[in-house]
Amino acid sequence: MYDETVTVVENRPLTGGHFLLSVHSPRQAQATRPGQFAMVRLLGRSDVLLRRPMSIYDVAPGSAGVPPAPLGGPPPRQGRRRPPAQSAIRVGGPLQGRLRPPLQQVGSPLQGRLRPPHQEAEIVQLLYKVVGRGTRLMAELKPGDRVGMLAPLGHGFFQEEYLDRARGADEVLHVAGGIGIAALLLPARQLALAGMRQRLFFGGRTRWDLVGVQDFKPYVSATVLATEDGSRGYRGYVTRPLEEYLERRRDKRF
């Protein structure tokens, strides 16, 4: 755990009021384990005193003047109607995949054990949604701004005991709703490197809340989506298709 004053590299707007904040912090990036989180403090604001807890979405290499790899893939097509204050910014682009090492093939020396920390990681990425005053102010951060960040915090998901249980399963199921997806990308990557079969169940209120789906595609065999308004995937909560899937596969271990 390190208490650092870090520099904003990018604060990218996504769909549905979500942002991907990338900061330069090599020590925190290299110490991060899947499932850990950060406490973010806005500097120079006497009216916002408390730190904001946020899951660490990803860590990535970085170099001077070059932003980290963005959240993968374009957002859903918005048609004529767009949520207020949303821009048609493409999520992904020429930098995608350039700054992140490729997924190692199952059967590599990493299979069956934990991936060591990325010794070249310099960038910490936080996926967040604007829901109140603190996150509204965060959305105004620009490259070069400074914020306080205490990270990494928490035990995380990835201990040897966790991996041992996963080895005994036929498939690992990731289930997330809304911004909860932020905690799952690093675990999904680690399990893929260990040779585990995975499936993602992801739900949100609307299609605009389903951010980051493309980033999981290299690591999961299938993705099941649900929205409360039916604008994408199943209509209703994501627990419905999850229950149906488990019912059809009673003979499997998850």
Protein fold of 2-153: Elongation Factor Tu (Ef-tu); domain 3 (2.40.30)
Mean pLDDT of all residues in 218-234: 97
Tell me what pLDDT residue 63 has.
57
The DSSP 8-state label assigned to residue 140 in this structure reads T
Q: Does residue 52 surpass a pLDDT of 50?
A: yes
Query: pLDDT tier at 124 (50, 70, 90 boundaries)?
Result: very high
Mean pLDDT of all residues in 141-166: 88
Query: pLDDT tier at 110 (50, 70, 90 boundaries)?
Result: very low
Query: Rounded to whole angstroms, how far apart are CA atoms 105 and 74?
Result: 26
Tell me the Cα Rg of the chain: 18
Tell me what pLDDT residue 118 has.
64
Quick one: 54 exposed, middle or buried, by C-beta within 10 A (0-12, 13-18, 19+)?
A: buried
Tell me what pLDDT residue 69 has.
46
Residue 52's DSSP bridge partners are 40
Q: What is the largest CA-CA distance in the chain?
A: 57
Mean pLDDT of all residues in 181-203: 94
Mean pLDDT of all residues in 2-11: 97
Start-end ranges of CATH 2.40.30.10 in the chain?
Answer: 2-153
Q: Which residues of the chain form beta strands (DSSP E)?
A: 2-13, 18-24, 37-42, 52-61, 121-129, 146-153, 172-177, 198-204, 222-227, 234-235
Mean pLDDT of all residues in 174-191: 95
Mean pLDDT of all residues in 55-71: 68
Mean pLDDT of all residues in 113-135: 82
Mean pLDDT of all residues in 1-14: 97
Tell me what pLDDT residue 74 has.
41
Tell me what pLDDT residue 225 has.
98
Start-end ranges of CATH 3.40.50.80 in the chain?
Answer: 160-248
Tell me what pLDDT residue 111 has.
38
**CA dist 36 → 29, 56, 120, 216 (Å):** 11, 6, 19, 18
Q: Does residue 132 surpass a pLDDT of 60?
A: yes
Tell me what pLDDT residue 88 has.
28
Query: Rounded to whole angstroms, how far apart are CA atoms 237 and 166?
Result: 25
Q: Does residue 92 surpass a pLDDT of 50?
A: no
Mean pLDDT of all residues in 234-244: 97
Hunting for tokens 């604008």 — which residue is that?
231
Q: Does residue 114 surpass a pLDDT of 70?
A: no
Query: Rounded to whole angstroms, how far apart are CA atoms 92 and 97?
Result: 9
Q: What does the CA dihedral 60, 91, 228, 137 come to, rounded to 10 degrees?
A: 70
8 Å CB contact between 63 and 125 = no
- Phi, psi values for residue 180, rounded to 5°: -60, -15
Q: Does residue 238 surpass a pLDDT of 60?
A: yes
CATH number of 160-248: 3.40.50.80
Q: What is the mean pLDDT of the chain?
A: 82
